[in-house]
Amino acid sequence: MKPPFRVKICGVARPEDARVAVDAGADALGLNYYPGSRRFVSRETAEAIRDAVAGEAQLVGVFVNATISEIAAAVEIAGLDLVQLHGDEPPEFVSELRATGGRLAAIPVIRAFRSGRDLRDGMACYVQTCSSRDAPLTAALIDADAGRHYGGSGKTIDWSAFRRLRDRLADLPLILAGGLTAENVEQAIAVAAPDAVDVASGVESAPGRKDPVLVRQFVATAKRCFKHSS
């Protein structure tokens, strides 16, 4: 199975930052719909970001324990291409998304998992349950355990452990997140061998404000590494 993208700039909260990321070559932009996040986007901002990139990159809605109706509204308003579940949503929630009908029923779903001692078995069980309910995931994202927060902590994960997940997850694309920067993404790709990478705080000058230089460096390095590894 092919990954939905290679390089995702997450936590994009301003139209001008979306434009910078797309011009740098990013494949996807993450829009954070979690009100507790410092990178939260309002309906109006999401629409402005959509208009700024005009279909030049995939828009990924990042949700934390949102309701089906909240996700459906965001998908419709911003024209989201993918949904990323980053909270405590059980496999049953993924199948509920699939049962809604309309555009939401067909939209690809990425499930984020926090790294930790129980990740390997728990993640495999989750993935298998989704498949058994006819609601297979499009990809899995592995992020650092941020405690009471849901991502964007800047903490790195064990890249070697990430690589070992493959023997339990068949061909499900794996996205590496957590503490990535322009300085370490080359090593991260070499060690972890992910299908895609996701960065938020590692390319920021402040939460929700992307640094154009860091964005360009990150995307260029990641794209070069993926090209050489393919």
Helices (H) then strands (E): counts for the chain:
9, 10
Active-site pick, 10, 17, 130, 225: 10
Told to judge if 225 belongs to the known catalytic residues of this protein, a careful annotator would answer no
Residue with tokens 């001692």: 117
Active-site pick, 27, 143, 195, 198: 143
Ordered DSSP codes for 45-109: HHHHHHHHHTTSSEEEEEESS--HHHHHHHHHHHT-SEEEE-SS--HHHHHHHHTS-HHHHHS-E
Residues 6+ apart with CB under 8 A from 215: 9, 17, 20, 21, 24, 26, 203
Told to judge if 145 belongs to the known catalytic residues of this protein, a careful annotator would answer no
Question: CA 8 to CA 132: how far, in whole Å?
Answer: 29
What's the sign of the alpha-carbon dihedral 47, 52, 56, 57?
Answer: negative
Catalytic residues: 10, 143
